Amino acid sequence: MSCVRHRTVVKSVAVLLAVLSGAAALHASGAAEEEAGPARAEYLADKGEFISPAEVNFEEFLSAYDMAYPEPEGAFGVSLYTGQRLISTSGQQDRILIGLQADRTAFETLPPMNIAVAVDGSGSMAARDKMDWIKESLEIFIERVRDKDIVSLVLFDEAAEAAVPAARVGDGDTRGRFRRAVSRLAAEGGSNITAGLTLARQEVLKHYDRDQTNRVLLLTDGWGATSGLEPVLQAYEEEGIGISAVGYGEIYEPELLRQLSKRTGGSSRFVSDAERMEEIFGSGLARMAVPVARDVRIRLELTMQEAGFFGVWGPNMKQTTENGKRVVTFSLPAVHSTDYETMTALVGFPKDTPPGPRAVGRLTVTFIDLSGREQSLDPRWLTYTFMDMPNPVSGASDARVLKADALLQYASCLQSIGSTAQYTTPSGREFFLARDVRRRLLDVQRRLDLDAFASEIEVLGKYLTVVGENLDLKKSIVQAIMEDVEIPATVQDRPLARHMENLFQELALSLEGLPSGAIAASGFTARGVGSAASAAGSAPHPAPLLDYLNQAGEAYLAGLQDPRFPFVERRRLDAVLREQELALSDLSDSRDAVRVGMMVAADYLLTGSVVEMDESVVIFSRIVNVESAVIETAAEVIVPKADIGPGLL
C-alpha cells in the first residue's frame, strides 16, 4: 500500500472549515447515519491505500452497525448497557453503551418529503467512475420516492441550474424529466458548492412547510469554492432545512461534508459500491431525510464521586464536573426515522470499593417533539456488583458493548496505521497491532455467531499481507500468524470452579435487565477453532470437561429462584431436538437456536460453547432473545489449561 499523499486544500475550503469548526461547538453532531469512514477504509484498502487518520471519525465507526436496540414506545428510545455486571473492588474500567433507536415506521406511511438533490458536475467528478455512480444512485432515488413527495434536481459546476424545478413526483412526468436530466449529467469545469447549496435551498423553499421534511441531498467529492457559504448555512439552520452529504470517489474531502451535515442536522455518507448505493438511496432514504425529534440531549451523571470517564465517544460530547461528580452530555439537532445512534464511554472505578451491588450513575434524556413541546424519557440507572477479585470475567459480556468496543479498537488501529503511513512505511509495530485487533474481531464474531466484521477482518488481513511484504515475511508465515486466533488469558491461577461461578453470576445479572420470560437452557457443547482444534479433529474436548461444565451449570440454574424467568424443562428441549434431527451443538448457530426456542415456547435460549486453543480454553455462554433473534449477552472466561483440573482435558 502506498503512503497517503498530503493534498493542498484551497484557501476558501480551509477558511470555511475553521468557521464551521467554531460554529460546531454550538451545535449538535449530525445524525446517526454518519458512516463515511468505515466505507472509505474498505474502499481504499481494495485500491491499495491506507485510510488517512483525518478520515477516521470514531462516531462514524460506532454508527456503522445497527446494534438492534429495542423498539421504542414513542418516537425514539434510549437504552443503557454495561459491558459487564461484575466489577473488581480493586479498581477496574468498564465500557458502557448508550443506544438510541428511532421508530421504525414503514417508509410508505411517512409524511411527504420535500427534497432537493444538488449534484456536483465539476471536472473533479470525472475521475474513477464518480459520475456513473451518481447516475445509478439517482436512479435508485427516483424509483424510491413516492408520488406524494416533492423533488427537484440542481446541477452545479462554476454556476448552478435547476435541471428539474421542484414538483410533486406524481404530477405529470416528474419522474421521466428527472431521469432524462440525470442521463445528461457530465463532469466538466469548476465547482461552486455555495452556488449549488444556494439554489437547492431556493427549490426547497418553493414548497416549504416547517412541519414536513425539508432536505437537501448534496452529492459531491467535497472539492470546490465555498466563498460566501456562511450566510447560506445560517439560513438553512433558521429554516430547519438539513443537508445530507454523500461523498464519492477515491479523492474527496470528508471534513467539509461532515461539517455541513453536523451544522444543519443532516447526515454524512460515502458511496463505496453498488450495495451502499441501494442502502443509502433505497432502503435507507428515510434515515437520511425524515426527522422524528429535535434538540435531543442525553446526560449521564456518575453518582459515585470517585468514578471518572477515561474516553468518551458520541455526538457533540461535552464533559463537566458538577458538585464533584463527573457528567457527560451528548446532543443531536435531530433524530430521523429508523435512526440508531451509539454513544459510549470508558468508566473507571476506584480501588477499595465495598463489595456488593451499587448504583453508580444516572442517565436522563430531554428533547423537543415535532409539535415544539419539550419532553423527557424515564431515567435509567447504571448499576454493578463489585467483587473482591481481579477481572471476574474476560472482557465485556453484553453483546452490544462487545460490538462497540471492537469497532473502536478497529478505528483506533486504522488511525494509528494511517498516521504512520503518512510519513513512513508501516512495519513491525503496525503489523502486530493489526494482528491483535483482528484477533479481537474474530473473537467477537465467534461469540456472537454473526457475519458482522467480515469486511473489517478482511481489511486488516490486507494490511497484514502488505506490511508483511514490507517486513520480507514469507506468505506462509503471514498466513500462519493470521490463523493463530488465540487471545491470552488475563487471569492466572484461578480455579475452574471459580471461573464458572463468575460466568453464571454474570449471566444471572444480565437477565435482570431483560423483560421477563421463559428460559430454555441447552448446556455446553464443543466448538473447534484454531490449531489445537484442527489437530484434535471435530471434537477437540473430551467428554469429562463438557460433563463438568454442564453439571455446574445445571446446579447453578437450579438455585435461581426468580419467578420472572421460569425454566423450560430439559426433556421438552431434548424432544424438539430429536424431532428436528438436531444436536445440541447445532444450537451454537443462533438461527437454529431461535427456531428451537420458538418450538418449546421459550422467550430466551441459554447456550454454552467451549473452544480449545493452544494455551487456554475459551468458555462462553449466550442469552439469545427468541422473538428478536438478538444475542443479548455473550459472557466469556478464558481459562489457562494449567488451571483446569486433571482428567478434564
Nearest-CA neighbor of 331 among 265, 285, 287, 238? Answer: 265
337 lies in some domain: yes
Three-point CA angle 115, 341, 247, nearest 5°? 45
- Indicate the range of 16-20, 180-184, 274-278, 519-523 predicted with least confidence: 16-20
Q: Which residue has the higher pLDDT, 175 or 523?
A: 175
How far, in Å, CA of 461 to CA of 79, rounded? 34
Q: Are residues 633 and 573 in the same domain?
A: yes
Q: Is 59 helix (H, G, I), strand (E, B) or coil?
A: helix
How far, in Å, CA of 202 to CA of 196, rounded? 10
Q: What is the CATH number of the domain that holds 213?
A: 3.40.50.410
Q: Are residues 375 and 240 in the same domain?
A: no
Q: What is the mean pLDDT of residues 432-440?
A: 95
Residue 562's pLDDT band, with cuts at 50, 70 and 90, is confident
- Residue 217 phi, psi (nearest 5): -100, 115
How far, in Å, CA of 401 to CA of 407, rounded? 10
Q: Are residues 268 and 313 in the same domain?
A: no
Contact by Cβ (8 Å): 157, 124: no
Q: Are residues 239 and 327 in the same domain?
A: no
How far, in Å, CA of 433 to CA of 414, rounded? 10
Q: What is the mean pLDDT of residues 444-450?
A: 82
Q: Are residues 176 and 151 in the same domain?
A: yes
- Domain end point (choices 240, 264, 289): 289
Measured CA distances, 47 to 43, 274, 455, 457 (Å) = 7, 16, 14, 16
- Indicate the range of 5-14, 491-500, 511-520 predicted with least confidence: 5-14
The total number of residues shown for the chain amounts to 649
Alpha carbon 6 to its chain centroid, in Å, reads 29
Mean pLDDT of the chain: 84
Alpha carbon 468 to its chain centroid, in Å, reads 29
- Indicate the range of 320-329, 408-417, 442-451, 486-495 predicted with least confidence: 442-451
Q: Are residues 333 and 268 in the same domain?
A: no
Beta bridge partners of 382: 361
Q: Where are the alpha helices (DSSP H) in 63-192?
A: 130-144, 174-183
Nearest-CA neighbor of 96 among 363, 471, 296, 337? Answer: 363
Domain enclosing residue 301, as ranges: 76-105+292-387
- Domain end point (choices 387, 404, 424): 387
Three-point CA angle 33, 35, 39, nearest 5°? 150
438 lies in some domain: no
> pTM for the complete prediction?
0.75
66 lies in some domain: no
Nearest-CA neighbor of 557 among 610, 500, 516, 513? Answer: 500
**What would the grid cell of residue 79 be?**
437504552
Whole-number percent of the chain with pLDDT over 90: 42
Q: Are residues 234 and 143 in the same domain?
A: yes
Q: Where are the alpha helices (DSSP H) in 173-220?
A: 174-183, 193-205
Q: What is the mean pLDDT of residues 574-581?
A: 85
Q: Are residues 281 and 355 in the same domain?
A: no
Contact by Cβ (8 Å): 7, 251: yes
Pairing assessment for the beta strands 86-88 and 374-387 based on DSSP bridges: parallel
- Domain end point (choices 387, 411, 440): 387
Q: Is the pLDDT of residue 310 over 60?
A: yes
Q: Where are the alpha helices (DSSP H) in 494-628?
A: 496-512, 530-536, 543-558, 570-579, 590-599
Per-residue pLDDT at 11? 31
Residue 10's pLDDT band, with cuts at 50, 70 and 90, is very low
Contact by Cβ (8 Å): 289, 113: yes
Q: Is the pLDDT of residue 450 over 90?
A: no
Q: Is the pLDDT of residue 339 over 90?
A: no
Per-residue pLDDT at 637? 92
Q: What is the CATH number of the domain that holds 96?
A: 2.60.40.740
**What would the grid cell of residue 324 be?**
464533584
